Amino acid sequence: MFGLLWWILVGLIAGWLTGKVMKGSGFGAIGDIVVGILGALAGGFLFHLLGLAASGGLLYTILVAFLGGVILTWVFRLLAGRRG
């Protein structure tokens, strides 16, 4: 149960930060959590590929999730712009 709350907390913080940096209407609280959690997964994968995977506690986890969220938001907007 604590693990789930941890992911939600990290997702909320990272999603909120992503929304602030990427400028836009945002995705709402639930959307921000989802972006943050998906960002954590994507960021963790990318950091692992770059050989930067490490455990650094809450701040490191939020940083990785935030960077992953920024990348995901950028890719999503890039693909959505091409479609429309």
User: pLDDT, tens digit, for every residue of 45-77?
Assistant: 888 898 887 677 888 888 888 998 898 888 888
- Look at residue 68 and tell me if it is in a domain: yes
Count structural domains, the chain.
Answer: 1
> Can you give the pTM of this predicted structure?
0.78
Range of the domain at 34: 7-20+29-83
- Look at residue 76 and tell me if it is in a domain: yes
- Look at residue 63 and tell me if it is in a domain: yes
- Look at residue 11 and tell me if it is in a domain: yes
- Look at residue 56 and tell me if it is in a domain: yes
Two tokens at 44? 């963790």
- Look at residue 2 and tell me if it is in a domain: no
Q: What is the mean pLDDT of residues 18-22?
A: 85
- Look at residue 1 and tell me if it is in a domain: no
Q: Is 16 helix (H, G, I), strand (E, B) or coil?
A: helix
pLDDT of amino acid 83: 64
Q: Is residue 37 within 8 Å of 4, Cβ to Cβ?
A: no
Residues in Cβ contact with 12 at an 8 Å cutoff, skipping those fewer than 6 apart: 29, 32, 33, 36
- Look at residue 79 and tell me if it is in a domain: yes
